[in-house]
Amino acid sequence: MLFPLGAVIVQVLLPGIFFGSLKPGDWRILFEIAERPLWQKSLQNSLVLASGTTLLATALGGALAMTRASRAFPTAKLLDAAVWVLLITPSFILSQGWVMFASPNGLAASVFGAHWVNAFIFSPAGLIAVMTLSKFPLAYLSVYSAMEWKVDSLSQAARLSGASPFTAWRTVQAPLLLPAFLAGAALVFMDTIGDFGLPASISAVYRFPTLPYSIYSAIYTSPIRFDMAGVLSFYLVVLIGAAMTLQFYAMRRSRFDFLTGRAERLVPQPAGRLKLPLAAGNALLLLVILGIPIGTNVWTSFAKTTSGGIQPSNWTFDNYAALFGDGQQLLKGLGHSLLIAAGAAALALLIGLGVAYVLTYSNFRFKRFVETISILTLAVPGVVLGIGYIFVWNQPWLENVGLLLYGTPWILVLASVAGAIPIITRMLVGAMAKVPAQLLTAAQLYGGSFFGRIRVILVPLIRGALLSAALAAFGSGVFDLAVNSILFPPNFLTLPVSINKAFEDLKFGYASAATVFGSVVVIAIILGLELLLRRKEVKA
C-alpha cells in the first residue's frame, strides 16, 4: 500500500525513475495546473463537488441521526437498512441509476413529465445533490454511534442555571457531538473527492471532469500522459491528506470525556404528534435515495426503450437474453470478478487476522503505525492506488524474478487485497475486543503453541466475525470499478468494466440487466455461504 502511494508522489519529481532514468524532473510542472485548462477544471470540479457534498451530506446525515436516535417512529429501522445498502452499493451503480432517471428520455420525463430534472441533475448543483444522497450515510453512522450514550445531568445542570432548551442543546449537546460531525465530514470529503463512479457514469451524457476521471483518462487515452496522471494524483493525495490532518487537529482540540457511571444508553422516545410526519418524511426519503437509483436500474433492465414508459408493451427480457449472447462476454467478466474477489478475500482475511491480533493483543511499539497503514486504502482513491501499481509492478527487472504482475490478473488480486484489508481489520478488531487476553495467556501457560491458541481458542470465538468480514470483502471486491478500470489486463474483462463499457456505449438496458444480474448472483452467493456456514457452526 505504501510503496504504490509513494511511487505516485516520487514519479512527479523523478518522472523517469520507473523507466530506467534518474534524471530529476521539473518540479515546476506542479504549478502548471494553473495554466492547463483541463487540469485546472478537474481540480476545480473536484473541490466544488467535494465541498458542497461535505456540507450538505454532513448536515443531512447529522440531522437524520439525531432524529433517529431521539425519536421512535414507524419505518425507522428501514432508514438504518437503507444506510447500509447505500454504503455497500458501488457508487457507479447508484450514479447510473440517477443518469438513466434524469436523461432526456428517462423515467423523470417519460413517466412523470418532469423535464426540468434533466437540466438540474446534469449541473454542478445537481451532481452535488446526487452525491449528497449517496454519501450522507458516512455522516449518519458517525453521529448516530456518538449518540449511543447520554448523561442527562449535564443538560439538567444547564437548565437549572436558566438555559432554555435550545441554549442547553447548543452549549452542551452540540459541542459533545462536534468530534462526530467532524469525523463524518472528513469521511464524506475524502470519499467524494476520490470517487470515480460518478464521473465515469455521467461521462457518456455530461462533461464534468474531476481529478479521478482525468487521471484515468491520462492513462487510457493516446498518447499516455504519465506526467498528467502523476500531477493530478499528487494533488488528490495532498487534498485527502489535508482533510485527514484537519480532522485529527480538530478532534484533539474538541475532545470531551463525559461518560460517567451515570451514563445511560439512549433510548428513542415516542414521537407523539410527530409520529406520522416523521414516518411519511422517512418513506419519501427512502423512495428518493433507493427507489430512484436502484429502481431505475431494475426498470431499465426490463424496458425496450427508456422513452416507452411503463406500459406492458414496453417490457421485455431481451436485455437479459443479450447477457448470454455475444460470446457470453458478460458471464466471462462475472466469472473473472468472482474469482478475483474470492482470492482477494481469502488472502486479505489471513492478513487482516494477523493485523487485528497485533492491534488487539500485542505490545508492539509500532502497532499504531501498522493500524494507520491498514486503513490507508480507505482514504486513498482507487485510481491513485491503480496508478501506483502500474509504476511499481511494471518494471522490466521484475520479469526476471517472476513478479511482473502488470498485465496479469494477479495485479487485480493484489489491489483487491489492499482494498479488503481495512474492511476486514475493522470488523475483526471489534470482535477481538470482546475476547479477553487472559484466555490466550492461560492456554500459553498450559503449553499451547501460538498457532494452536489461534486455531483452538480465538478463531472459534470470532468465527461469525471472520465469516462476515470475508463475505463483506468478497462483495465489495466484485464491483470495484476504479481499480478494475485502471489495471484490467488486455482481453480480460471484469464485471464492473463490462457494465461501465456498455453504459458508455449508451446501452442502458444491457448495462442495467448486467448490474441486476450480477448483483443477484453476488447476493445469492453471499447469502448461500452464510446460511451454509452458519448452519454448520450451529451443528458444531
| Tens-binned pLDDT, residue by residue, of the chain (540 aa) | 788 888 877 877 776 677 666 676 666 777 777 788 888 899 999 999 999 999 999 999 999 988 888 888 888 889 988 888 888 788 888 888 998 899 888 888 888 888 899 899 999 999 999 999 999 998 898 888 777 656 566 667 777 788 787 787 777 777 777 777 887 888 899 889 988 888 888 877 788 889 888 888 888 777 777 778 878 888 888 888 888 777 666 666 555 555 444 556 667 777 788 888 899 998 999 999 999 999 999 999 998 887 777 778 888 888 898 888 766 788 889 999 999 999 999 999 999 999 989 988 888 888 888 877 777 777 777 888 888 888 888 887 888 888 888 888 999 999 899 888 888 887 888 788 778 888 888 888 888 888 888 888 888 888 888 888 888 889 888 888 888 888 888 888 899 988 888 888 888 889 999 999 998 998 899 888 878 876 665 555
Burial class (CB in 10 A: 0-12, 13-18, 19+), 426: middle
Q: Is 532 in a helix, a strand, or coil?
A: helix
Query: Which of 404, 528, 423 minimizes the C-alpha distance to 477?
Result: 423
Q: Is 73 in a helix, a strand, or coil?
A: coil
pLDDT at site 261: 47
Angstrom distance (rounded) from CA 11 to CA 291? 44
Cβ contact 212:199 at 8 Å: yes
Q: Please report, for the chain, how many H helices and E strands are present, in that order.
A: 29, 4
Q: Is 315 in a helix, a strand, or coil?
A: strand
Q: What is the pTM of this model?
A: 0.81
pLDDT at site 177: 75
Angstrom distance (rounded) from CA 423 to CA 144? 20
pLDDT at site 259: 46
β partners of residue 269: 71
Quick one: DSSP state of residue 224?
Answer: P
Cβ contact 56:132 at 8 Å: yes
Residues 6 or more apart whose Cβ sits within 8 Å of residue 210: 42, 45, 46, 49, 195, 198, 199
> Cell triple for residue 89?
452499493
